[in-house]
Structure 1
Amino acid sequence: MNRLPDPHSRPRVWAIGISKLRDLFRDIVGEYDGRADLQLVSLGYEDAVRELQAAGPQRPDVVVAAGSNGTYLKARVDVPVVLVSPTGFDVMHALARARRDAASVALVTYGETPPEARRFAAAFGLDLLFASYRSAQDAEACVLDLRDRGVDAVVGPGLVTDIAARVGMAAVFLYSRASVRAAVDTALEVAQATWSEISRRQRVDNVLQHLRDGVAALDAQGRVEAINQRLAAALGIEPAAAVGRPLAELAPDLAQSALDTEGESLESVRGVSYVVHRGPLVERGVTSGMVLTFQESRAVERLDRTLRSRQRAQQFTARYRLDDLIGECDAIDHVRKLVRRYAKSDATVLVRGESGTGKEMIAQSLHQLSARRDFPFVAINCGAFPEALLESELFGYEEGAFTGARRGGKAGLIEAAHRGTLFLDEIGEMPLPLQSRLLRVLQEREVVRLGSTEPTRIDVRIVAATHRSLTEAVDTAEFRADLFYRLNILNIALPPLRERQADIVPLAAELLYQAARREPRLAAHVGTVDQAARVLAGVREPLCRHAWPGNVREVQNVIERVAVELADSGESGARGAPVLTVDVLRTIAPEVFDDATPVARALTLRQRSRRVEADEIRAALEACGGDRDRVCKMLGISKTTLWRKLNAAA
């Protein structure tokens, strides 16, 4: 194991050599005082190996050695070994020195004689003998053989020159300060590169350890190259013990296909279910391994629930504005005035109107114009859920409140609307038991989750909507009178479409324009609301004559059919803007021409106002037990006025 790099320390280099090489190391050691911790080790072969193994934390980052000693170390230690290599100038200089004092010279090298040396001797006509050795024993035998052959001088490494001097031969050391210095410089570069690699690996390992998922990197044979603590703990082993072992051996439960293919699969490891993702490790364009990430399936499920919760929170926004309300009749103008006025208040609003008249659009417009516009707009249809589910959705629940309750509990929609607006659509369909709980929310401005005893304070503005007559529901005991009075503080009544016939064609034109924006084949011909109105000009009469019992929603359905028909006719080759004819409309929307559908008499604003007053008077009579004197006193009107208002709305 290499030591971890310290930014304040110097690379530790051991210069291993004996005899003359040791002397050269000693000559240059002072040059590296500020750059390296250069230590001289006068040992060779097995002694040097034992010294390295015993060094422990003080072991070097790199070793510098030469000749057979360096080759021996390189094969037996896991520390980088840099060999001292003689330069061409070293060889020439050593040979020149040897020839000055001897007639016969031999160049002895470790391993094969360098071809450059042979070419050099041939080029200059030098009479040289070349010899090589593989071990210390070979070196001694080689020198003795050269002596017996009459060689006077030997040029070679320190081992060879020591033997030659001992047997009475002249000897010239092959290495120079320059070659030794070059080897030490190379060793420093190797140490820096090693440190950089260790730092990179350490950084990658830190990243792996901080990942919440289990991660393993495998080589091409499926053996573990790296593994983080989370996965090692899941496998029940230490990370260091996993490196180098096949993952299939560490996790026998893993299917072999999970290790051979890319992608994702659901696997079981020691009884725990994991989502395993596999991706290739590519080096220089070649796949050299695989990286696997293990994520507990339970964590994936929790994350999915969290994301769904956040996405739902992001959906608690109002999309419609008051400008989206189409119509210029007096009734719609009055509605706009009420919305702008009521938006300045936090009082509860009850929006009444038939299905499809735009009650939710009014509720969203109230929110958009209010001081709560930057907070949630939460809408719930009280008639779309079973009673038990509606209760948990509205009020939320604590963990363990009922079978299947989510771990940690869940906040209800009333809590989700905190500081914003809660829109209770079809409030008339709310079950009576929930009406009592809602009444307390409105009175106390606090909500208690199912299974909890601790109330949570809330700050919400309530907007309710209904298509039913709540006063009649109160009369039949289907709706609580006290809740009705809590809801009916501010009141907005939306007229049905049959009472605002002048707005039918403008509304249809706007809806056709919106449909054309979604249909590329029609967009070129219906680029504005005016163009849409011209397309519908030929069917104005039947559109205005129809009663539209489904109100705006029914108009939207018919216009969608019109848009599809016009787009198809334009695609079939018709030139210019398409025009809708009565015959085409009769074909695609025959209900518009149904003579059995009565055209209701439009109610004036005064008539609608009378109906609202009558509803309020009936509710007051119900609350007072039919005591008309008490009702007149409460409302500040006479008995004659009471009788007249009730009959005027009949």
Structure 2
Amino acid sequence: MSTPSAAPHSRPRIWAMGISRLRDLFVDIASEYAGRADVRIVARGFDDAMQEIEAAGAERPDVIVAGGSNGAYLKARVNVPVVVITPTGFDVMQALARARRDGDSVALVTHGETPDEVKRFTAAYGVDVIFASYRSTEDAEQCVRELRERGVDAVVGPGHVTDLAERAGMGAVFVYSRTSVRAAFDTALEVAQATRAEGVRRQRLDNLLQHLRDGVVALDAQGRVEAINQRLAGVLGIDAASAAGVPLQQLAPDLASALPDTDGDTLVSVRGASYVVHRGPLAGAGPAAGTVLTFQESRAVERLDRTLRSRQRAQQFTARYRLDDLVGECASIERVRTLVQRYAKSDATVLILGESGTGKEMVAQSMHHLSARRDFAFVAINCGAFPEALLESELFGYDEGAFTGARKGGKAGLIEAAHRGTLFLDEIGEMPLPLQSRLLRVLQEREVVRLGSTEPTRVDIRVVAATHRALTEGVEAGTFRADLYYRLNILSIALPPLRERAADVMPLAAELLLQAAAREPRLVARVPGLQAATHVLAPVSEPLCRYAWPGNVRELQNVIERIAVELADADGDASVAFTREMLEVVAPELFVQSGRQKKGALTLRERSRHVEADEIRAMLAACGGDRDAACEALGISKTTLWRKLNTTQ
């Protein structure tokens, strides 16, 4: 059995209340509804039926089915929906035809006034019928006596009337049929389901109202309280349960007089505290539907404003690089610039592919600077630099008490910090599988759930991911989720390694030397500009361009930093360039032959791989970077294209 605090019972409870012949009809039909409702037949009427309902307590019915005067009596007195059985025109016609067999004079007795459609029906078919009606049990007895005195041979009516007619020696025909009772049961089921759905909706809305941190009250068009949450009731010092239906002017006259007449925000004082009150239409249906008022403490609004201002432009969440910082003139770099400008106009997720040190974050920051999100945060995190537990809390944040050592009040994660801006996930291929599932939900639903919380927070972010790994191989190996890969790989940019852009080595080196000189006061005079930096590095251009740079631009930057330090400590003429001998001292690795170079030519397999990769790159260039078109022209899949390009690196 369910209790008031228990969950709603699984099936609607229908009580069929009737005596005499109607009860027998209920018994015949009830089994047809056994699978859809809990049907209880109650052989009681009027006051006895009311007592049965009140005694049921929490087990009271969802809806009642009754006939005639009994139904009308209960409908006016119990707080439960009552479906009154209504005979159809066919029922009346059949009943009158049967009554004709018992005598020439026939009376049709109904509870309340005889419906006009019944009178029109009998007149249309030329049926001579005496119409009579009653409103109570006593009326029914008096009505039957009068009909007998008038010489009526047979009576058509509900169960109680036909019983009285039989006891008076007249013919009696029960007006209700199985069809009309079934129709009443069907209506009762619909009413029960609708009532239950409305009850659940109201309960959910009430729960929502009570859990809001702000005070809320809904008023009808006359200013009476329709709903109020406990938070506001406590502020006003009133009982929320008894406030419904009472005018706000009566509950809080000072507040009601201070409220604005038009929609919008205003500052009011309630029992010594200041509140920002927002007034708006209830359900958005205009002033006739009522008003909803929300109350926020002004101090809370001020604290929130300060927090938002302090976080909006946090230094660690800004993008430093722009597209002009991407140095190089080769075709592959020009293609990268074109894609960055094109993709900056979109909010779609971008996957940046390239070896370590090729400038993936620089490209991501450049894209952010060119996008509509440029005025908001650029949040970068290296997915391979944190243990799994720490990465989870850093990305998703946590609520107070989520784990031992959790900060009081909780902490917003980096995903929330990137709201309205860009979230850059570097080395996405290193992300643990459990976190991949959570990240997938963020990408799909654009909402994040903190550790220890069940409430999602909506976020508006643009996601840019980067990796030096072939994610398709991770998908095949089961270390990277396929659905996450396809969610990330909507737009993609492939960065070429430095060894494939030898013509850009010296311009890059000169730019890096100029940047190093700007940080070192002793080099300012020696390297005042880009032309001077190029001149200084000219004697070592051959070894710099010949080297394969496995660490790409990052390794070149390291070598240039060593050169800058050497130049800063060197004595003598400031116009003297950096020599090959000096380079051999600071960067001997540039002059050591690799194991492959010592052995001479590449192996046959290596040659084959490089030839295939060169052909693929040439086809990509011919197709303007369109991978689908290149794959179709070469007769290979996108997975094969990516694998063959990466096996030569």
Structure with max Cα Rg: 1
Q: TM-score, normalised by structure 2?
A: 0.49
Q: TM-score, normalised by structure 1?
A: 0.49
